[in-house]
Amino acid sequence: MAKPAKSDTRYLEKHGTKWRVCVSVPRNLQAAMGATKLKETLETDSLAEANRQKWLWVAKFQERIEAARNPQGTSDALMDEAKRLAVLRKAAASEHVEDSLDAYIGQRVSEIAGNPIAVGREGEALYEPDRELAAVRFSGVASGHRTPIEAHRELYQGQLRVKARTLADDNRAIKYLLDWCRDENVPAFLETFGRREAIRFTDAFPQLIGTQQARTLNKYIRRLGSYWNWMGNRDEVKTNVWQGRTYTIPQETAEEKERPFTDAEMIKLLTGPAPQELHDVMRIGALSGARLDAIVSLRVRDCRDGTFTFKPQKKETASRLCPIHSHLEAIVERRMQGKVDEDWIFPEWPAAKSTKSQRERSFKTSNHFTEYRRLVGVDDPREGNRRGRVNFHSFRRWFATRAEQADQPESLIAAVLGHRRQGVTLGIYSSGPQLKQAKRCVESVKLPVSV
């Protein structure tokens, strides 16, 4: 049951004979703000009057808390204030509280609009256009009639179970959209952003980010579609305006597709002047088919009992075992020597120092490999494409090709590589090949004779 207006003491506490406003500081910000609560004494002993006055201080305190949470500042302080008021209004415990908030919102709208600058033909007050527009936007958001596009982002992202890189893509996608709305003077509200606006954005997007690569463009549109789909399931929007908004991916010819290394390229790479750690990484990639980040993220505990335990990659839901090729045993033994289970196999490439970094551990490794690959003359660029036809993933393609040429079953190769296997029998009911079968598959792959 809602509290009666006369007993509503939210954000209020008695201080002597007066009432004072009290807003709790989130625990993770208390050290930075030097307080557990923000307080301001009101010059009244009337609860009704305190309820009328408190919203000004609640808004100010929440603004201080938000500034501590985001020390770099925000692009639109008025919208941030309006959003906070909308949250308070939505949680109002009674009509009296709602009326008090509406009165405060009306006061702020008048302050934002400023004094009239002229009188219209019908006697109506005219305001400076930019200030009037800001006041209208503020009123719509604060009163709950307009919902900013990003209003549900924090809750949405809190429920996502994706990798850091995908989360970074998610953040970039919404920033691209909001920047476009601002530059094109498109109201960035869920109630007004429809299919027509989504189509306009999709048409302008390639020019906006400076690429015509359909895969890159679709990646960001998919992130926006995921957010709208989540909101649709919660009845926050009526439809997913990004449905069908995709860019056509040109069909690649055989000459354009990424490919395995040739044997000649393998010899150049594995006999060239690379540092020892890079030689070790390349050989593990070639004789396990593992992705680069899975290799660089190996710890000593992941290389026991003749198997690698690679962390989940892409759409894998769990770690997977891969037998250690006999030609890799000496490398693994050397890298494990004198180390404990938690030590890294490749300490030469540590993770980023910043806890906020969304780069994979293998970021630097990839850069070093690319520089070395080009140094020894292994390159196959594609016009208009950032990625060439060969890269570290070409070791994985080479492994799959050699295993297939050694007459290993496709389902077994897929299991070793961590690919989703096709068909009901192998895809659902089978728990996977026995290690001895996987070992045969791995051992069937031989490095070129000259290596």
Residue 263, C-beta contacts closer than 8 angstroms, at least 6 positions apart: 448
pLDDT at 438 over 50: yes
Listed residues 142, 166, 197: the one ending a domain: 142
The reply to whether 211 and 101 lie within a common domain is: no
Decide if pLDDT at 429 tops 60.
no
> Mean pLDDT throughout 18-22?
92
Q: Which residue has 């691209």 as its token pair? A: 176
Mean pLDDT of 285-289: 96
Which contiguous run of DSSP H or E holds residue 15? strand 12-15
Give the residue among 217, 227, 75, 83 at the shortest CA–CA distance from 142.
83
Residue 70 belongs to a domain: yes
Residue 229 in any domain: the answer is yes
Question: Does residue 245 lie in a domain region?
Answer: no
d(CA 166, CA 360): 11
**Tally of structural domains, the chain:** 3
Residue 3 — pLDDT band, cuts 50, 70, 90? very low
Q: Are residues 290 and 176 in the same domain?
A: no
Verify that 223 and 291 share a domain, yes or no.
no
What Cα–Cα distance (Å) separates residue 275 from each residue in 341, 366, 394? Answer: 25, 14, 20
Classify residue 247: in a domain, yes or no. Answer: no
**The domain boundary residue, chosen from 212, 233, 254:** 233
Q: How far apart are alpha carbons 11 and 141 in whole angstroms?
A: 22
User: In sequence order, what are the beta bridge partners of 323?
Assistant: 307
Cβ-proximal residues to 314 (8 Å cutoff; 6+ apart), any chain: 291, 418
221 and 102 within one domain: no
Q: What's the token pair of residue 93?
A: 């415990």
CA angle 259, 261, 262 (to 5 degrees): 115
Q: How many CA atoms lie within 13 A of 72 on its CB side?
A: 1
* 212 & 304 share domain: no
Any idea what the Cα angle at residue 419 is, between residues 417 and 423, rounded to 5°? Answer: 130
Is 103 a domain residue?
yes
The mean per-residue pLDDT over the stretch 216-224 comes to: 95
Instruction: Tell me the per-residue pLDDT of 94-127, one tens digit each, with 9 for 90 and over.
Output: 788 788 888 888 898 898 889 988 887 778 888 8
Task: Output the domain CATH number for residue 307.
Answer: 1.10.443.10
Q: Where are the beta strands (DSSP E) in 171-272?
A: none
* Residue written as token pair 């527009």: 133
* Res. 428 pLDDT band, cuts 50 70 90: very low
Residues 381, 438 share a domain: yes
Long-range pairs, 260-268, Cβ under 8 A, ≥24: 260/394, 260/397, 260/398, 260/400, 260/401, 261/378, 261/390, 261/394, 261/395, 261/397, 261/398, 263/448, 265/378, 265/390, 266/398, 266/447, 266/448, 266/451, 267/448, 267/450, 267/451, 268/376, 268/377, 268/378
Closest CA to 151 of 179, 181, 190: 190
Q: Indicate if 269 and 417 belong to the same structural domain.
A: yes
* In a shared domain, residues 337 and 433: yes
Residue 47 resides in a domain: yes
- Integer Cα distance of 248 and 251 in angstroms: 9
User: Which pLDDT does position 253 carry in this prediction?
Assistant: 60
Residues 6+ apart with CB under 8 A from 443: 323, 325, 326
Position 375, amino acid: L
Whether residue 109 is found in the same domain as residue 164: no
Which whole-number Å values give the CA distances from 239 to 151, 198, 236, 245, 269, in the listed order? 17, 12, 9, 13, 52
Residues 82-101, mean pLDDT to the nearest whole number: 81
Instruction: Give the per-residue pLDDT at 426.
Output: 41
Q: Are residues 21 and 115 in the same domain?
A: yes
Last residue of a domain, one of 111, 142, 173: 142
C-alpha dihedral, 313 to 315 to 319 to 320, nearest 10°: -90
Residue span of the structural domain in which 166 resides = 153-233
- Residue 248 in domain: no
Percent of the chain with pLDDT over 90: 47
Check: CB of residue 84 under 8 Å from CB of residue 55: no
**269 and 187, same structural domain?**
no
C-alpha span between 378 and 360 (Å, rounded): 24
Q: What is the pLDDT, as a whole number, of residue 138?
A: 86
Residue range 170-206, pLDDT digits in tens? 999 999 999 999 889 888 889 889 999 999 999 999 9
User: Do residue 289 and residue 313 come from a single domain?
Assistant: yes
Q: What is the pLDDT of residue 449?
A: 79
Q: Are 278 and 372 in contact (CB under 8 A)?
A: yes
Look at residue 253 and tell me if it is in a domain.
no
